Structure 1
Amino acid sequence: MPEKPAITSSELGTLWLTYQQKTMILRMLEYFIEKADDDKAKDIMTKLYKEIDPYVGKMVEIFKNEGAVIPVGFAEQDVNKEVPKLYDNGFDIMFIRLIKEISMGLHSLNLTMSYREDIVIMYKELTAITQNYYNLCTQYLLEKGMLARPPYVSMPNSVEFVKDINYLGGFAVNPLTEKRTLNTVEVAHIHHAIESNITGMQMITGFAQCANEREVKKFFNEGAELAKSIIKELSETLLQSNIQIPEASGGHATRSTVAPFSDKIMMYCTSLFCSFSMGSNSLGTAFSLRNDLPAKMTVFMKDIFEYAHKGAKIMIKNGWMEEPPQMEERTQIIKK
């Protein structure tokens, strides 16, 4: 057996995806570090950059050793650090926190699809880095009063079991039945969805202000409206149970209309957020026992999927969508 077996198709695929994501994060960090006006935020982002950057080099080395072409990803032409600030008041750390949340899920999933020890170790190390910086960003935002905690609740003093199918509530059991108050698991997922969509809405509003292509600008405007509608509907669900709505006090776009990022990288970032949102809504659906909630989440997922599909068409049209490595076209090979 060779010291290192060749990488498998799944390992090649996950490395390719990770390379795309990490090169995107590095480019955006370069801009946010340059424009940071808070020393602690700048320190967090600078240290994160230094920890992530070597892993891009490790992936390049693996691609070279395996005889695979190095992906394009995102390079210096996708960022302009000299333009005015596009976001203010803590958005940089809010954005990095959400990116780290996405990365935690991706690295854990990639770990389950990896078999070669060096690649397994790389994803374990990336997971540890991601968890650390997610916590640093969370604590920073809490200290600055820019992150709303989920609502508090009276602690249970006895164990209860569901006694009636009316617990499922909503229209699927009996349309005349009054909906029960949300349980803490459902509140957790709703709060998380609102929090994520607030950051996503602020991000995409800034993108809409500075996008160069008219079609891309229109696409981002539609995305901001979609995020707004999801926030509104989920907020109303909380209010119906007399539960406080989370509100972010920072992270707004400035008046700048000069793009710090290429349309290509902004489109990819939006696509990544859409994929994350669909995954989060799937989890929310799985853990919600009140029938009206999965119905809402399913509509959200349909709308997000259609929006992401529209974005994919724009990326393909402009030559911005890099194609993942393909399996062999056996039928075509045989015909030749």
Structure 2
Amino acid sequence: MDMEKMKLTSSEIGSLWGEYINGTATDLVNKYMYSTIEDEAIKTIFHEAIQTFEKQKEQIKSFFEKEGFPVPIGFNESDLFLGKQRLFSDAFCLNYLNIMTLHGLLGHSTSLGVSVRKDLRLFYDSCDDAAKEMYHKTIDLLLEKGLFQRDPLYYTYDQPTFISSKDFKDGFFGKGRTLSAIEIISISLNLKKSIMAKTLSIAFSQIAHSKEVKKFLRSSEKTADGQIKTLAKILQGDNLPVPKSLETEVTQSTESPFSDKLIMYHTGFLFQAAQNYHGAGLASSMRTDLIATYESTILQNLLVTKNWFDIMVKNKWLEQPPLAPNRKEISR
């Protein structure tokens, strides 16, 4: 079978559509940050990220055009207003690129997992390779500048042991054990992502034009802050360090370099993407308090997402993904 002549499946079209929408949104934030960054090493990495996505965007457009599907609108220069006052510090920008690269790695892996056509698989391979290279570069630079926050360190054990009591699951009634290394993975990731979501909500609430959008952003900030405090309390209960906040890396600027459409979409994306990590945390937790925390967090994020969806639809900001044919409608 000629792989190049195989029609793209619904899953393959959906993955391309998502990559394009998410990529064009993040790309504009990267371009704004690039225009304000003063540190040459950080600026160089952002330039590379922008150049890399420009090539990927053209490849995605080519897939759509060859298949006869319209290229999504996504986000473009009409959503970006350069020349405004600086909103973020260089340190925040580098942390932002690191976190968004992690989201990209997850997205590329998912897209590769649903792709069958070889040209599409090779495309996602190249996307994944570029994201891994960017991940290494952001980590190395964060470490070099003393900005990377490492996860808690554990002391070594003499030998492997087995769980010997049902109390291993307890996290509420005083018999509970300390956090396992497996549980720390999700706690740390979720904390860092919630800190990023809170900081962006604060920054975006300063610059948004619409009162409705500002209100939503203050609500999303409050939700992220509550989740940070809950996870931090669990770490502190075992005398483990908590990642520091990033709010002080936001300036007092009220000049918006972004459209409200882009601000809203980006905030919603962070809360939706976080559900993957909360779900992973829920699946890997064996302490009852952690399970309850993740269940509560997932429900909170669903409420944020519902409010986000209502505002996006009301303002006609939410682009519709390709839909399955409505046979009943066609038959009429």
TM-score range, shorter chain: over 0.9
- Residue 187 of structure 2 corresponds to 190
Alignment deviations for residues 195-219 of structure 1 (CA, whole Å, 9 cap, x no partner)? 1111221111100100011000111
1:319 partnered with 2:320? no
- Residue 17 of structure 2 corresponds to 16
User: Which one of 217, 231, 250 corresponds to residue 234 of structure 1?
Assistant: 231
Alignment deviations for residues 35-59 of structure 1 (CA, whole Å, 9 cap, x no partner)? 1111000000101111121111111
- Closer, same or farther in 2 for the Cα pair 1:250/1:296, shift >3 Å? closer
**Normalised TM-score (structure 1):** 0.95
Aligned mates of 1:142, 1:158 — CA distance in 2: 32
Aligned mates of 2:138, 2:247 — CA distance in 1: 14
Kept in 2: contact 1:89–1:251 (CA 8 A):
no
Aligned mates of 2:214, 2:192 — CA distance in 1: 24
Query: What percentage of aligned pairs have identical amino acids?
Result: 28
Aligned mates of 2:208, 2:148 — CA distance in 1: 28
- Residue 65 of structure 2 corresponds to 64
- Residue 86 of structure 1 corresponds to 87
- Displacement of 1:170 in angstroms is 2.8
Kept in 2: contact 1:33–1:42 (CA 8 A):
yes
- Residue 221 of structure 1 corresponds to 218
* SS of equivalent residue, structure 2 residue 249: coil
- Displacement of 1:167 in angstroms is 0.8
- Residue 156 of structure 2 corresponds to 155
- Closer, same or farther in 2 for the Cα pair 1:192/1:251, shift >3 Å? farther
Superposed counterparts of 1:11-160, under 5 Å: 11-160=12-161
* SS of equivalent residue, structure 2 residue 54: helix
Kept in 1: contact 2:92–2:246 (CA 8 A):
no
Amino acid at match of 1:32: M
Kept in 1: contact 2:11–2:115 (CA 8 A):
yes
204-213 or 90-99, larger mean C-alpha shift? 90-99
- Displacement of 1:251 in angstroms is 6.4
Kept in 2: contact 1:267–1:315 (CA 8 A):
yes
Aligned mates of 2:245, 2:330 — CA distance in 1: 56
- Closer, same or farther in 2 for the Cα pair 1:43/1:255, shift >3 Å? same
Kept in 1: contact 2:208–2:260 (CA 8 A):
yes
**Normalised TM-score (structure 2):** 0.96
1:201 partnered with 2:194? no
Alignment deviations for residues 50-75 of structure 1 (CA, whole Å, 9 cap, x no partner)? 11211111111111111111110000
- Displacement of 1:142 in angstroms is 2.1
- Residue 281 of structure 1 corresponds to 278
- Residue 211 of structure 1 corresponds to 208
* SS of equivalent residue, structure 1 residue 156: coil
* SS of equivalent residue, structure 1 residue 170: coil
- Closer, same or farther in 2 for the Cα pair 1:249/1:320, shift >3 Å? closer
Residue ranges of structure 1 left out of the alignment (5+ in a row): none
180-189 or 294-303, larger mean C-alpha shift? 180-189
Aligned mates of 1:68, 1:192 — CA distance in 2: 36
Kept in 1: contact 2:33–2:88 (CA 8 A):
no
Kept in 1: contact 2:42–2:90 (CA 8 A):
no
- Displacement of 1:307 in angstroms is 0.4
Kept in 1: contact 2:38–2:90 (CA 8 A):
no
Kept in 2: contact 1:146–1:249 (CA 8 A):
no
